[in-house]
Amino acid sequence: MTSTSIRPSTVTAVAHPNIALIKYWGKRDEEYILPCSDSLSITLDIYPTTTTVWTHDGAADQLTINGVPADGGALRRVEQFLELVRARAQRPERLVVETVNTVPTGAGLASSASGFAALALAATRVYGLDIQDVTLSALARRGSGSASRSVYGGFSIWHAGTGRGAAGDSGSYAEPIDAAVDLALVVAVVETAAKPISSREAMSRTVRTSPLFRAWVESSRLDLAAMRAALRRGDLDTIGEIAERNALGMHATMLAARPAVRYLSQASLTVLDRVAELRRAGVGAYATVDAGPNVKVICAKAAADAVATALRELTVTREVIVAGPGPGARITAEEPR
Ligand code: DP6
């Protein structure tokens, strides 16, 4: 491998998690992380991941997460991702990666999305690769599918693209979209322990065994078209209704997997009931749930405090945080070594 010299530097990047209003659930290609359907999300202004990287003389990549050296699966996943970046940059050096998550890792609050968006940006920069936007998004996707969307602030759509393997790689990326809404997401944390089954494994099992999977892909396609129109109109109630039904459809397809995958807990259902009650009382609040029991409630910014107060009154909630649209991934420091 040939490599020109780069000026050694330490690069820090920050990225935020995103919450899908139209979910990504199911891959057509597991190695290349190519999804079966388009998805659409909003990047939040809470729980940033900060990742600092530099090259070193060692023979292997090193990773710490929140100050703790990582090994096993987490390290392998980062190494595999960095191999892709090195191949593209034609650089041989290994990296030291220090990542700090402010979100509970593995609890269905999308730490892999912010994590790989920040890593993709920091690593490409430290290896002297100048890639951005859709190219950066497609690369971040190889670390974790949802990371493709955390490259951007606000709303973004991840186009599934077509084809498999290398042929499908560059056509599967996210891009930002405009929306005319002042929306808030109220995050109701009911559990912070790591999930019993990783979303990666659960997704794979769903595709292989759920008899409802095809129907989910088809209904999600219709949901996406309706969601885009509602976002253009700034029609918050329709946005919320579609997001809620899409999330429940995703949980339905995984509940039908064999064996069943169940992320919704008693506490999640209690929050969902409360959200339905709020609606009956005239508050435009709608719920979405990812690969974990925590519930995110979509509502108008003006209603967020009232929604948060109602959710805090529930004994099942440990923490309730009001989030809004957040920024895209960005470099926050770059210093010569
Ligand atoms: C339920 O992006 O974590 O949050 O691509 O296997 O890393 P991998 O999966 P990941 O899955 C996220 C699934 C979801 C829905 C979504 O964010 O669209």
Ligand 1 atom with the smallest distance to the CA of 143 is: 7
Is residue 18 within 8 Å of 43, Cβ to Cβ?
A: yes
Closest CA relative to residue 227, chosen from 157, 303, 280, 284:
157
Q: What is the pLDDT along the chain (337 residues), one digit of tens a residue?
A: 445 567 789 999 999 999 999 999 999 999 999 999 999 999 999 999 999 999 999 999 999 999 999 999 999 999 999 999 999 999 999 999 999 998 765 545 668 999 999 999 999 999 999 999 999 999 999 999 999 999 999 999 999 999 999 999 999 999 999 998 999 999 999 987 777 899 999 999 999 999 999 999 999 999 999 999 999 999 999 999 999 999 999 999 999 999 999 999 999 999 999 999 999 999 999 999 999 999 999 999 999 999 999 999 999 999 999 999 999 999 999 999 8
Pocket test for ligand 1, best of 146, 155, 248, 295 (most atoms within 8 A of CB): 146
Using the mean position of ligand 1's atoms as its centre, give its distance from the Cα of residue 217 in Å: 15
**334: region left, alpha or beta (phi > 0 left; psi from -120 to 50 alpha):** beta
Calculate the dihedral angle through the C-alpha atoms of 18, 20, 23, 27, rounding to the nearest 10 degrees: -20
Q: Which residues line ligand 1 (CB under 6 A)?
A: 20, 23-25, 33, 39, 110, 112-113, 144-146, 199-200, 203, 290-291
Residue 199 has what pLDDT?
93
Ligand 1 atom with the smallest distance to the CA of 141 is: 5
For the residues of 54-85, what is the DSSP string, one character each? EEESSSS-EEEETTEE--HHHHHHHHHHHHHH
Domains and CATH numbers, the chain: 9-178+326-336 (3.30.230.10), 183-323 (3.30.70.890)
The protein residue with its alpha carbon nearest to ligand 1, atom 12, reads: 146
Q: At what angle do helices 133-143 and 111-126 cross, to 10 degrees?
A: 120
The 10 Å Cβ neighbour count of residue 129 is 19
Q: At what angle do helices 266-280 and 304-312 cross, to 10 degrees?
A: 130
Using the mean position of ligand 1's atoms as its centre, give its distance from the Cα of residue 144 in Å: 7
Using the mean position of ligand 1's atoms as its centre, give its distance from the Cα of residue 199 in Å: 6
pTM of the entire predicted model? 0.96
Q: For the chain, what percentages of helix, strand and coil (3-state, to nearest 5) are there? A: 40, 25, 35
Enumerate the H helices of the chain as residue ranges: 72-89, 111-126, 133-143, 147-150, 165-169, 199-209, 213-233, 236-255, 266-280, 304-312
Q: What are the tens digits of pLDDT across the range 86-100?
A: 999 999 999 999 999
Pocket test for ligand 1, best of 22, 24, 30, 246 (most atoms within 8 A of CB): 24
CA angle 163, 169, 174 (to 5 degrees): 105
Q: What's the token pair of residue 48?
A: 């940033």
